[in-house]
């Protein structure tokens, strides 16, 4: 599955900005982060469930990125590296404080609300709520795979790279996660 909002486009002058940021140019770093901010936030929101937690995780990820910029050698795409840092920050936050509040409606817009009649819209909103609840109930490692593969549209290889696990582990986790989601959603109907 691939999503429309998957891997972000390469930032203009990314290499130049990276070099400047490595030399300590905070403004160059800011330009890079502005380009990836929404992607990082989207991952964090799906991992953590609440906007406040997601913002904290992204801020923490940006600070970590700034502090470890000198160690980033460019072996992986910058987006992959940032996905990795963001996911790790989320996993750390989940360990520290498990979220209990589902996403509020403000962050769950219908994709094509104009094409749906009110009853369908209500049904879709309810389905999304149930899905988010089910995702929130997944073990963190499975949740990360679902978010990166199914929601962000990364390839299996990219997910393995981000999570630093084998391809087989990614496929196994994703399969188990989807089965669990199917069970959860079936149980709610």
Partner 1 sequence: MTADPTEQERARAASVDGLLGELARQPVRPSRSITDRTLRSLRAERGLLTVAVGAGGTDRISEAAVARAVAREVSALDGVRQASVRIAGEQELRVVVEIVAVLDTPLVALADAVRAAARQAVEATAGRAPEVVDVHVHDVA
Identified binder of partner 1 from the candidate list 77, 99, 131, 140, rule CB under 8 A? 131
Give the nearest distance from C-beta 87 to partner 1 in angstroms.
Answer: 16
> Which span sits near partner 1 by CB under 8 A: 10-18, 75-83, 121-129, 156-164?
121-129
- Over the window 40 to 79, marking each residue x when it contacts partner 1 by CB under 8 A and - when it does not, the resulting string is xxx--xx----x--xx--xx--xx--xx-xx---------
Judge contact between 79 and 154, C-beta under 8 A: no
Task: Say whether residue 132 binds partner 1 (CB under 8 A).
Answer: yes
Q: Cβ contacts of residue 188 below 8 Å, gap of 6+?
A: 130, 133, 134
CA distance 177 to 74: 31
3-class SS string, 18-74: HHHHHCCCHHHHHHHHHHHHHHHHHHHHHHHCCHHHHHHHHHHHHHHHHHCHHHCCC
Selected binder of partner 1 within 10, 122, 126, 127 (CB under 8 A): 127
Nearest CB to partner 1, comparing residues 76 and 128: 128
Cβ 77 to partner 1, closest distance in Å? 19
Q: Is 26 in the site for partner 1 (CB under 8 A)?
A: yes
């Amino acid at each position: 599955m691939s999503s429309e909002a998957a891997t972000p486009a390469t930032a203009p002058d990314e290499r130049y900005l990276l070099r400047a940021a490595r030399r300590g140019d905070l403004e160059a770093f800011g330009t890079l982060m502005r380009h990836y901010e929404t992607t990082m936030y989207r991952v964090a929101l799906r991992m953590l469930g609440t906007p406040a937690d997601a913002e904290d995780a992204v801020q923490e990820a940006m600070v970590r990125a700034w502090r470890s910029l000198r160690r980033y050698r460019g072996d992986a795409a910058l987006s992959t590296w940032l996905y990795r840092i963001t996911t790790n920050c989320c996993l750390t936050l989940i360990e520290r404080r498990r979220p209990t509040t589902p996403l509020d409606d403000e962050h769950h817009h219908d994709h094509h609300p104009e094409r749906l009649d009110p009853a369908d819209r209500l049904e879709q909103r309810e389905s999304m709520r149930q899905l988010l609840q089910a995702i929130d109930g997944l073990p963190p490692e499975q949740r990360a795979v679902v978010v990166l593969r199914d929601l962000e549209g990364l390839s299996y290889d990219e997910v393995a790279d981000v999570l630093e696990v084998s391809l087989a582990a990614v496929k196994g986790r994703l399969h188990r996660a989807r089965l669990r989601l199917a069970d959860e959603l079936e149980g709610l109907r």
